[in-house]
A and B are shown apart, each in its own frame.
Chain A
């Protein structure tokens, strides 16, 4: 795998190899917490931080980690970072921490993070690894927020509900558009449907672009 420039790494993470949309990694938190936009944002930002720092640390220590025990060491690094994030959440966003519950500690087991440590950070210099962490983390966070917003809109007919969990202040129940939504979107099947729609949309856009590109090159070759 080539390291490439910063922008290229961002593009890879956000779109071409998006951990949620293309690699289908980390589906457990993706499906479980995305009932609202705010929940998605909270877990997405937490994952982004953990992924960026774990990539940096794994890359920095890659020459000293023995091949045979690399996975336990990655897990140790990731777990200590997750502990930091969890303490930060508990200190500054206590309500959001209660809302996300077990899924903050469970970031340790998010396979997207171990996968990036194994595939990318252990073979590339620090700069490229940090760029990769930001790209992949942002890609995952964007997907969490997108699916969260979609499920909230369809399921509760509101948006940005419980924004107070991030900003503080009075409980805020979001901008509501109707009395009730399609309950199915909030339920677990709705998470699978939403992810399927997102993956289908991504493939559709890719296909459109490929077709357009092919036609361009055809015209040029004539």
Chain B
């Protein structure tokens, strides 16, 4: 396929890829700390495994394509992929699950398409979807967040490491004791079980807007995201589009039938909405590039997230929404080509 490429004389960017990726990683640190606080140290081990396999896979593929591995590793994009994947995983994930996702992300979704700059799909989300489909049991074991509950059972660092390595819990603990339905799961199954929104909200796991703990991690993602906006690493159109595409239909449905639909606030602060809006959808390679196109792309992701949460079989739809809109990116870019100064607009030409 031939896609239209823009050939304007661009201004030289202030930052190169490596500096940009480092800033994205830095913006993720607050949320990472919050994740560790609420869900235990498992996140760090997932990050470690994902980084090792992403970097290893990248080096291997560069070698296989007879290029210097240092060139690809120096831009830190493999680390960003690993970090996004680690945020998507439950904090307790056996290492082979993480490794499968990381290798698929880097080897298939990134390098088989031609490496950074050529990947059609967001690598982290492609890797996540593969393990979500291939290991449904392991990917649904979310522990309860630490919120000062009396019956909270936290795993120690050692127990977490042993689970990451072996995939089995200590004899005294069972999955039923430590794992909980995520707020999105509880909301989806509750609404489908003909319970009202207000009724489901009385569950102690629900917080002010989303789930307790979860909404705070969302706040820290937003904090990092705003910093990226200020630093001009990302543009406002994609996050605005994601929020508009998700919250407008959610708000309308909530006004029409407040009992049978989750509130827009719940949608905003649950699952990976904020992570997606600022960090996943804004991937510069697989997202749309024209200003108007970025907004359309974001809106599409937002609406698909809403549709999958409301009517789909998965509790959260961020990864699927992003991958589906990645497919639409060339068409969006083609339709929303910016107007060139001095040339007649399409309406004037007729």
Check if B136 sits within 8 Å of A184, measured CB to CB. Answer: no
Interface residues in B96-147 by Cβ distance below 8 A to A read 100, 130, 133-136
Q: Does A183 contact B (CB under 8 A)?
A: yes
Check if A189 sits within 8 Å of B133, measured CB to CB. Answer: yes
Instruction: Tell me how far the C-beta of B137 lies from the nearest C-beta in chain A, rounded to whole angstroms.
Output: 10
Q: Does A182 contact B (CB under 8 A)?
A: yes
Q: Does A73 contact B (CB under 8 A)?
A: no
The winner among B130, B133, B134, B135 for most chain A CB atoms within 10 A is B134
Contacts of B134 in A (CB 8 A): 182-184, 187
Check if A182 sits within 8 Å of B100, measured CB to CB. Answer: yes
Interface residues in A171-203 by Cβ distance below 8 A to B read 182-184, 187, 189
Check if A183 sits within 8 Å of B133, measured CB to CB. Answer: yes
Instruction: Tell me how far the C-beta of B156 lies from the nearest C-beta in chain A, rounded to whole angstroms.
Output: 28
Complex-state Cα separation, A189 to B133, whole angstroms = 10
Complex-state Cα separation, A182 to B135, whole angstroms = 8
Instruction: Tell me how far the C-beta of B24 lies from the nearest C-beta in chain A, rounded to whole angstroms.
Output: 29
Complex-state Cα separation, A157 to B100, whole angstroms = 16
Instruction: Tell me how far the C-beta of B209 lies from the nearest C-beta in chain A, rounded to whole angstroms.
Output: 35
- Chain A, residues 155-170, CB within 8 Å of chain B (1/0): the string is 0000000000000000
Complex-state Cα separation, A189 to B100, whole angstroms = 15
- Counting contact residues on chain A (CB < 8 A from B), the size range is under 10
Contacts of A182 in B (CB 8 A): 100, 134
B131: nearest chain-A partner, CB-CB:
A184
The binding surface of chain A is classed by DSSP as helix
Complex-state Cα separation, A184 to B103, whole angstroms = 14
B136: nearest chain-A partner, CB-CB:
A183
Instruction: Tell me how far the C-beta of A136 lies from the nearest C-beta in chain B, rounded to whole angstroms.
Output: 30
Complex-state Cα separation, A138 to B52, whole angstroms = 44
Contacts of A189 in B (CB 8 A): 133
Instruction: Tell me how far the C-beta of A119 lies from the nearest C-beta in chain B, rounded to whole angstroms.
Output: 28
Contacts of A187 in B (CB 8 A): 133-134
Contacts of B136 in A (CB 8 A): 183
Complex-state Cα separation, A84 to B134, whole angstroms = 39
Complex-state Cα separation, A189 to B131, whole angstroms = 12
Complex-state Cα separation, A81 to B100, whole angstroms = 45
Instruction: Tell me how far the C-beta of B18 lies from the nearest C-beta in chain A, rounded to whole angstroms.
Output: 32
Complex-state Cα separation, A187 to B131, whole angstroms = 12
Instruction: Tell me how far the C-beta of B128 lies from the nearest C-beta in chain A, rounded to whole angstroms.
Output: 13
B96: nearest chain-A partner, CB-CB:
A182
Complex-state Cα separation, A183 to B100, whole angstroms = 12
Complex-state Cα separation, A187 to B130, whole angstroms = 11
Instruction: Tell me how far the C-beta of B176 lies from the nearest C-beta in chain A, rounded to whole angstroms.
Output: 21
Contacts of A183 in B (CB 8 A): 133-136
A182: nearest chain-B partner, CB-CB:
B134
B132: nearest chain-A partner, CB-CB:
A184
Contacts of A184 in B (CB 8 A): 130, 133-134
Complex-state Cα separation, A182 to B103, whole angstroms = 14
Instruction: Tell me how far the C-beta of B36 lies from the nearest C-beta in chain A, rounded to whole angstroms.
Output: 29
Instruction: Tell me how far the C-beta of B307 lies from the nearest C-beta in chain A, rounded to whole angstroms.
Output: 21
Instruction: Tell me how far the C-beta of B53 lies from the nearest C-beta in chain A, rounded to whole angstroms.
Output: 15
Instruction: Tell me how far the C-beta of A182 lies from the nearest C-beta in chain B, rounded to whole angstroms.
Output: 5
B104: nearest chain-A partner, CB-CB:
A184
Complex-state Cα separation, A182 to B100, whole angstroms = 9
Contacts of B130 in A (CB 8 A): 184
Instruction: Tell me how far the C-beta of B105 lies from the nearest C-beta in chain A, rounded to whole angstroms.
Output: 14
Instruction: Tell me how far the C-beta of A155 lies from the nearest C-beta in chain B, rounded to whole angstroms.
Output: 9
The winner among A182, A183, A184, A189 for most chain B CB atoms within 10 A is A184
A181: nearest chain-B partner, CB-CB:
B134
Complex-state Cα separation, A114 to B43, whole angstroms = 56
Complex-state Cα separation, A203 to B135, whole angstroms = 31
Complex-state Cα separation, A187 to B129, whole angstroms = 13
B134: nearest chain-A partner, CB-CB:
A184
Complex-state Cα separation, A131 to B9, whole angstroms = 61
A189: nearest chain-B partner, CB-CB:
B133
Contacts of B135 in A (CB 8 A): 183
Complex-state Cα separation, A5 to B135, whole angstroms = 50
Instruction: Tell me how far the C-beta of B41 lies from the nearest C-beta in chain A, rounded to whole angstroms.
Output: 27
Complex-state Cα separation, A184 to B100, whole angstroms = 11
Complex-state Cα separation, A182 to B136, whole angstroms = 11
Instruction: Tell me how far the C-beta of A27 lies from the nearest C-beta in chain B, rounded to whole angstroms.
Output: 20
Complex-state Cα separation, A182 to B134, whole angstroms = 6
Complex-state Cα separation, A182 to B130, whole angstroms = 10
Complex-state Cα separation, A183 to B133, whole angstroms = 8
Instruction: Tell me how far the C-beta of A132 lies from the nearest C-beta in chain B, rounded to whole angstroms.
Output: 35
B135: nearest chain-A partner, CB-CB:
A183
B108: nearest chain-A partner, CB-CB:
A193
Offer 12 A-B interface pairs, CB within 8 angstroms, sorted by A.
A182-B100, A182-B134, A183-B133, A183-B134, A183-B135, A183-B136, A184-B130, A184-B133, A184-B134, A187-B133, A187-B134, A189-B133
Which residue numbers of B lie inside 8 Å of A, CB to CB?
100, 130, 133-136
Which residue numbers of A lie inside 8 Å of B, CB to CB?
182-184, 187, 189
* Top 10 A-B pairs, shortest CB-CB distance: A184-B134, A183-B134, A182-B134, A184-B133, A184-B130, A187-B133, A183-B135, A189-B133, A182-B100, A183-B133
Identify 7 new A-B residue pairs, CB closer than 8 A, beyond the known A183-B134, A187-B133: A182-B100, A182-B134, A183-B133, A184-B130, A184-B133, A184-B134, A189-B133
